């Protein structure tokens, strides 16, 4: 299984807030990497912020309480997108689960419940196991299973894999701004630092319009 990038010590320390260094102007090659080939955004005309994640990643789970309030306050010219990283095995299974729920338009509370279930010991490793769990969250079992196995969802799974490859990610959580700038919690010095990097890159892209 791929390296999840961060040590627990770094994540724990960074949860206390942004360091003085993180508040300073960011530098390419230090806090973030500029991709050699920009990846097209989902909504042309808007500044895109992507979070690549895995439901089973402890650092992604720990990032949730920090990133979600930030996402809720993003201005109208910013489009936030979550893309599941799929490095094979259970990563792909959980990635297809996320894409299925997105296709069904479920409330964010369902995604939160999936995160919590996996990090409390549930594997959710098969469609039937997922459907049984999701029924308790108000998701229709038959509709979930038919959507999970649909051609449309399988197409979106392949698109997500291609996007992750284009971003050249090696672990999660990783963020990408406007298909151009990639960074993670390690380079950004923690969750709050990552959002600071995102804010500065959003401002950079807005100024360039």
pLDDT, one tens digit per residue, over 116-133 is 999 999 999 999 999 999
CA atoms of 47 and 38, how far apart (whole Å): 13
Domain membership of residue 206 (yes or no) is no
Domain membership of residue 32 (yes or no) is yes
Q: What is the pLDDT of residue 1?
A: 53
Counting the structural domains of the chain, the total is 1
Domain membership of residue 209 (yes or no) is no
CATH of the domain at 142: 3.40.30.10
Q: Are 208 and 200 in contact (CB under 8 A)?
A: no
Across residues 128-149, what is the average pLDDT? 98
Taking only the tens place, the pLDDT of each residue in 6-61 is 433 344 334 434 433 345 899 999 999 999 999 999 999 999 999 999 999 999 99
Q: What is the pLDDT of residue 23?
A: 58
Taking only the tens place, the pLDDT of each residue in 160-182 is 999 999 999 999 999 999 999 99
Please give the residue range of the domain that contains residue 153.
8-74+85-177
Q: Are 44 and 209 in contact (CB under 8 A)?
A: no
- The predicted model scores a pTM of 0.89
Instruction: Give the model's confidence band at 209: pLDDT under 50 very low, under 70 low, under 90 confident, else very high.
Output: confident
Q: Which residues, 6 or more positions from 91, have their beta carbon under 8 angstroms from its beta carbon?
A: 1, 54, 56, 84, 85
Q: Which of 89, 105, 81 is nearest to 153 (CA)?
A: 105
CA end-to-end span of the chain: 40
CA atoms of 197 and 27, how far apart (whole Å): 9
CA atoms within 13 A on the CB side of 97: 31
Answer positive or negative: Cα dihedral of 59, 53, 28, 196.
Answer: negative
């Amino acid at each position: 299984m791929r390296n999840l990038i961060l040590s627990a010590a770094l994540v724990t320390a960074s949860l206390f807030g942004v360091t003085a260094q993180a508040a300073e102007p960011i530098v390419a090659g230090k806090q973030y990497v500029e991709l050699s080939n920009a990846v097209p955004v989902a909504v042309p005309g808007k500044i895109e912020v992507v979070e690549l994640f895995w439901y089973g990643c402890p650092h992604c789970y720990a990032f949730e309480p920090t990133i979600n309030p930030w996402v809720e306050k993003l201005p109208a010219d910013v489009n936030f997108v979550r893309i599941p990283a799929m490095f094979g095995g259970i990563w792909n299974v959980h990635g297809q689960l996320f894409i299925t729920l997105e296709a069904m338009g479920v409330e964010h509370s369902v995604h939160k419940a999936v995160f919590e279930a996996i990090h409390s010991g549930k594997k959710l490793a098969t469609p039937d196991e997922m459907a049984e769990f999701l029924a308790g969250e108000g998701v229709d079992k038959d509709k979930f299973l038919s959507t999970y196995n649909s051609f449309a969802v399988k197409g979106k799974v392949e698109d997500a894999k291609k996007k992750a490859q284009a971003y050249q990610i090696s672990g999660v959580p990783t963020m990408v701004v406007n298909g151009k700038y990639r960074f993670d919690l390690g380079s950004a010095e923690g969750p709050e630092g990552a959002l600071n990097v995102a804010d500065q890159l959003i401002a950079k892209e807005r100024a360039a319009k």
